Chain A
């Protein structure tokens, strides 16, 4: 599965399980947040990725909140 910010590119190149990320230079973080908040955010995205991996899909799917 693919975690990326620019999900349209992920769609164009053909990833099947896609989870949107925060921003290009920090896909799994946000420097504006406090350390523990940032880690919680990262955990949320990774949980979403694991949810994607355990979900059957029949084509390209973006897993949004």
Chain B
């Protein structure tokens, strides 16, 4: 099998050109050369990959001439047609870290060539780019070179070969917001006991799932004139016309339904049901108004409490459905409701 072709990016310091005084060194392509940390990568690759070119650039030059440096380096990488691009590792060098993150992400996004970089978790480049490109967590200085290369090189090989990449804990990259399954060495209960013993002893432990931050939106102003307002119903309780005509899944819904309720004054056992697989469906199947209160809203419409009930309702199944899918449904439903002149929405969930 042909060797994986690698292009490696490093700064002026690791190219042994000089320190801060040489940080304005412009981007330079050295075809066929393996420089500085590249030697450690080459040793780690054995016969599986070779560094076909090294790109050297001063840290100040890169950051002060960002657009030009980026464009120049992208052109150099493109010309070399590597299978994978490696930048750094940058350890705790701030400008170097930002340069590595910037260029690695750009190579991946603009050239479609997979990339990997590495740096210390507190390097400003880490927060900026860890969700854009695989970023190995390293020590905070070059004494950690061996450890950094030992993780970056195998990951680069996997990316170069197009093999699946494991979870962050296995591969050593910083968590990037994408949850990946893998098999641990111990079963979950034993890991729980270990974690509890550490927590009790006041020793450091690492949670397997850091708590997320959910979005917040500013509240909309109140509805001023209810008697003339158009109210719409939306539900995640899975209420659908009998037979579930659009086949909304009982769990992990991939889509939502839009149904016309013109002339419908009451949901009955014969006409509506729930597609939701996460709660006891008996009550909703008997009388779907228990989830989607169309009967009382029709009464209120007649009495003039509200202006009108929108003739369409929107429904999906909120059971194991990914937040990202729910968000996408909501955005689309929101646009439709707005276009239809709806003033307010009642969202019911189970």
- Is A–B contact present in the complex under a CB 8 A cutoff? yes
By a beta-carbon cutoff of 8 Å, the part of chain A in contact with chain B is: 1-5, 12-17, 21, 24-29, 31, 38-39, 42-43, 45-46, 49-50, 53-59
Contacts of B346 in A (CB 8 A): 1, 3, 46, 49, 53
CB neighbours (8 Å) of A13 from chain B are: 214-215
Instruction: Encode contact with A along B270-290: 1 for CB under 8 Å, 0 otherwise.
Output: 000000000111111011011
Chain B residues in the interface with A (C-beta under 8 A): 214-224, 226, 229, 231, 237, 279-284, 286-287, 289-293, 295-297, 299-300, 305-306, 344-350
Query: Contact: A39 with B296, CB < 8 Å?
Result: yes
Given A26-B290, A42-B296, residue A16 in contact with residue B348 (CB < 8 A): no
Residues of A contacting B229 with CB < 8 Å? 53
Partner of B219, one of A4, A28, A59: A59
Q: Are the C-beta atoms of B215 and A14 separated by less than 8 Å?
A: yes
In the bound complex, what is the Cα–Cα distance between A53 and B252 (angstroms)? 30
Query: Are A4 and B348 in contact (CB-based, < 8 A)?
Result: yes
A24 pairs with B279, CB closer than 8 A = yes
A45 CB contacts on chain B under 8 angstroms: 293
Known: A29-B289, A56-B222. A24 touches B217 (CB 8 A): no
Question: Is chain B's binding surface mostly helix, strand, loop or mixed?
Answer: loop
Say how far A8's CB is from chain B's closest CB, in angstroms. 12
Partner of A31, one of B219, B286, B349: B286
Contact A25 B282 (CB under 8 A): yes
Q: A4-B348, A27-B350 are in contact. List 9 more A-B contacts (CB 8 A).
A: A4-B350, A16-B217, A16-B218, A25-B280, A39-B295, A39-B296, A50-B305, A54-B224, A58-B219
Closest chain-A Cβ to B315's Cβ sits at a distance in Å of: 14
Find chain B residues with CB under 8 A from A24 CB: 279, 350
**In the complex, how many angstroms separate the beta carbon of A29 from the nearest chain B beta carbon?**
3
Task: Give the docked Cα–Cα distance between A54 and B350 (Å).
Answer: 24
User: Nearest residue in B to A10 (C-beta to C-beta)?
Assistant: B349
| Residues in chain A near residue B220, CB distance under 8 A | 16
Q: Do A54 and B214 touch (CB < 8 A)?
A: no
Question: Given the complex, which residues of B lie within 8 Å of A58, measured CB to CB?
Answer: 219
8 A-B pairs whose Cβ atoms sit less than 8 Å apart in the complex = A1-B347, A3-B348, A14-B217, A24-B350, A25-B280, A25-B350, A26-B283, A46-B300
Contact A2 B349 (CB under 8 A): yes
A43 touches B296 (CB 8 A): yes
**Which residues from chain A contact B289 at a C-beta distance below 8 Å?**
28-29, 39, 42
A57: shortest Cβ distance to chain B, in Å?
A: 5
Residues of A within 8 A of B284 (CB): 25-26
On whether A29 and B350 interact (CB within 8 A), knowing A45-B293, A46-B293, the answer reads no
Report which residue of A17, A21, A45, A50 has the largest number of chain B beta carbons within 10 angstroms of its beta carbon.
Answer: A50
